[in-house]
Amino acid sequence: MRSLTKETKVTLLYIALAFLFSVAIRMIWFYQFLDYNPFWFNGQFMINTNDGYYWAEGARDILNGFNHQEFDLSPVDSAASQVSAFFAYILPFSFESVILFMPIFLGSLIVIPIILIAKSIDNLEMGFIAALLASIAHSYYNRTMIGYYDTDMLNIVLPMFLLWSIIWAIRTNQDKYLLITAVDILIYRWWYPQSYSLESAFFSLILLYTLLFDRKNSYNYKLLAIMMFAMVGFDGYIRAIFVLIAFFLYKREQYDKYVHYILALSIVLFFVSGGFNPIWSQLKGYVFKDALMMGEEGLKLHFYSVMQTVREAGHIPFNVFADRISGHVITFVASVAGYIYLSYKHRVMLFGVPLIGLGFLAYVGGLRFTIYAVPVLAFGVAFLITEIARFMPTKRLKFLSMTAFTLLILTPNIAHIQEYKVPTVFNTDEVKVLDMLKSRASREDYVIAWWDYGYPIRYYSDVKTLIDGGKHAGDVNFPVSFMLTNPQDVSAKLARLDVEYSEEKFKFQKENEKMIRDKNLTIFSNIEEMTKKYGFSDTNDFLLSLEGDIELPKKTRDIYFYLPYRMIDIYPTVEMFSNLDLMNGNMKNRSFFYATKQFKQEENILNLSQGIVVDLKEMIVKINENKVPIKRVVQSAYDKNMKFTKNVQLVNQNGELNLIFMSSYNTFLLVDEKTYNSLYIQLSVLQEYDRMLFEEVILTPHAKVYKLKN
């Protein structure tokens, strides 16, 4: 057995130290909240990202023998769920522990390709420093910390391995890197289906490099072709077959004369298989986003786009942009300068440009993209540190200078981690509500709530939802928004309609999948189908008809409303999705809704901050220069036995605003009449429900669940 070389031993040592450092830093959050009971459920910390409950649902159902209900959208076929189920099956830990700690260990794998890339240019110290920084830089840490159970666990690790294999392929021209690169792409696409944009960017850069600097090297064309075969729009196993065939041909010199034809074939297959379509769709979704989305046929209804409300898709200032990539503006500037210098000294490092470019899309597409630039730019500042050390007269000074500068660039990031005390998605009391609901609702029943809560509801209650973190386009958000922000009677009718129409749509799509695909049939939104079914050509007329008696579909399952107290914070956003004319896209006048915990009372004057003052003697609200009469004053509370009480006073029949003091929450609400009569305010805030329509299921200060009777 051949012994390891000194360089290999040093490489393995650096990888081990960087990996342990990354893991140790990620345990800070764990120890900060070790004794904080609201983050625990069933003896285990809960996760802290909503999307994690999606993959957890799929993994749970896999472990239960793929036992899940039809049309429940459980991701049993997803890589993240399958890998999670595998780890949970082979490891002697609870499922909750596995998904809690997976981000720590998978995310920390980023140090391996970073150090291996540095090894390719004979600068292991640079790789070690870069690995330390990249593994804990703001945005990378935020999306791979303990409990951040999401595909981000490997979303940067895998393209960094791809970058490593490309660099080594270009430097060595060895056949094994052809296969490694293709396999990297296959695994990356399996793990993260949206990887096509980055894969295409790598392909384009290699093609440009070949045409400019290495046109006569047939190896480069082999690399491009085998990459393209791995990227075509066919199923993974078909792409794998293409890759193996190409690799088999490349291993035989008699086929070298066909290398250009093979590349041309791969490119044709890419476009014929629709390989470019998802790239364009993704760019439109994040870069060319509009406030409204419109159907192409039928009634051409207009809907509000969810991308306008997603923080990760918004613009960010430069200092936030720089901090998220490198931890500090100075470090970021040094990283950019260092990367330019590094690329000048070692041209192969230019292959990291696609990752930097995607990271810089943060200025256009939002902060989520900054994570991609983290590891490549970490090389820049690390290279400067090693270059400075190179001019030190002694080994001792060289070591001290590298240590000092490394600590300087790590310190802001460690400080950020210590202050980044993100909460779990739900607290213990909220999850207890969902756990109780699981024993009362059938797996075929629907729970209606805003999309933020969809995945956790499905995971803990094992039910169906209308919208969730992945299914939240404007057309599906509209009905749920309408239900939550309109009176109980019309909301109840639309709830039954939307649930039954959703189930019928699922069945139709399943039974007619081939016809829909072959004829490219348009599947209209539920709200459009309802409009047509009830004989209307104007959706506004259909919605108005809900105020009267209409024949509803036959009940096939129960419907529950999950109304958490925390929804108060996003009520205006929820309303936005149904507060528009679907026929022309014009936004309606916004309802008045104001919530605050910042208030101060002096005698009869109640200051609610933000320029809003209530004269309790005159019962008038002063909003800047305007005076608005109050209609009702409501005070609610929970007594020591957690019994809900409220006192409602009608002070002016002609008043326009309602003042609600939720004393147990130390919260004031100031709402207009439309909001006051909305389902959410009536059922959640006031517990004033129509007993002909709803029945109580679970009522707690944290969340309330009602069941629709019909």
Residues 639, 529, single domain; the answer is no
Residue 506 inside a domain? The answer is yes
Q: Give the CATH number for residue 509.
A: 3.40.1380.40
Residues 538, 643, single domain; the answer is no
Average pLDDT along the chain: 92
- Which ranges constitute the DSSP H helices of 546-677? 571-576, 673-676
Closest to 110 in 3D by CA, of 134, 87, 127, 145 = 134
Closest to 227 in 3D by CA, of 356, 351, 350 = 351
Residues 394, 438, single domain; the answer is no
CA distance 195 to 184: 11
Would you state the pLDDT for residue 296? Answer: 47
Which residues pair with residue 595 across a beta bridge? 669
Band of residue 666 on the pLDDT scale cut at 50, 70, 90: very high
Would you state the pLDDT for residue 312? Answer: 52
Band of residue 290 on the pLDDT scale cut at 50, 70, 90: very low
CA distance 636 to 638: 7
pLDDT digits (tens, 9 = 90+) for 598-629: 999 998 999 999 999 999 999 999 998 899 99
pLDDT digits (tens, 9 = 90+) for 375-413: 999 999 999 999 999 999 999 999 999 999 999 999 999
Residue that terminates a domain, selected from 512, 531, 565: 565
Q: Helices 329-345 and 370-390 meet at what angle, rounded to 10?
A: 70
Would you state the pLDDT for residue 330? Answer: 97
Residue 578 inside a domain? The answer is no
Query: Strand 626-638 relative to strand 657-662: parallel, antiparallel, unpaired?
Result: parallel
Determine the structural domain holding residue 700 and report its residue range.
Answer: 591-708
Residue 702 inside a domain? The answer is yes
CA distance 320 to 368: 12
Band of residue 282 on the pLDDT scale cut at 50, 70, 90: low
Is the separation of the CB atoms in 119 and 13 below 8 Å? no
CA distance 708 to 447: 10
Residues 203, 309, single domain; the answer is yes
CA distance 221 to 162: 17
Residue 573 inside a domain? The answer is no
Residues 285, 389, single domain; the answer is yes
User: b/e map of 541-553 (b: 16 or more CB within 10 Å)?
Assistant: ebbebbeeeeeee
Residues 225, 370, single domain; the answer is yes
Residues 199, 250, single domain; the answer is yes
Residues 519, 654, single domain; the answer is no
Average pLDDT over residues 578-590: 93
Would you state the pLDDT for residue 76? Answer: 94
CA distance 250 to 287: 39
Residue 581 inside a domain? The answer is no
Q: If you write DSSP's letter for every residue of 484-503 in order, what string do you get? A: HHS-HHHHHHHHHHHHHHHH
Residues 390, 445, single domain; the answer is no
Residues 405, 435, single domain; the answer is no
Residue 1 inside a domain? The answer is no
CA distance 368 to 353: 18
What's the total number of domains in the chain?
3
Q: What angle do CA 270, 271, 273 make, to 5 degrees?
A: 70
CA distances for 69 relative to 74, 75, 126, 471, 664, angstroms: 8, 12, 51, 18, 39
Residue 583 inside a domain? The answer is no
pLDDT digits (tens, 9 = 90+) for 493-527: 999 999 999 999 999 888 888 887 777 777 889 99
> Which tokens is 684 given?
């959640």
Residue that terminates a domain, selected from 396, 419, 442: 419
Question: Residue 476: is its pLDDT beyond 90?
Answer: yes
Q: Print the SS3 string covering 690-710.
A: CCCCEEEEEECCCEEEEEECC
Residue 579 inside a domain? The answer is no
Average pLDDT over residues 415-419: 97
Question: Residue 37: is its pLDDT beyond 90?
Answer: yes
pTM of this structure: 0.91
Residues 394, 292, single domain; the answer is yes
Residue that terminates a domain, selected from 530, 565, 600: 565
Residues 445, 479, single domain; the answer is yes
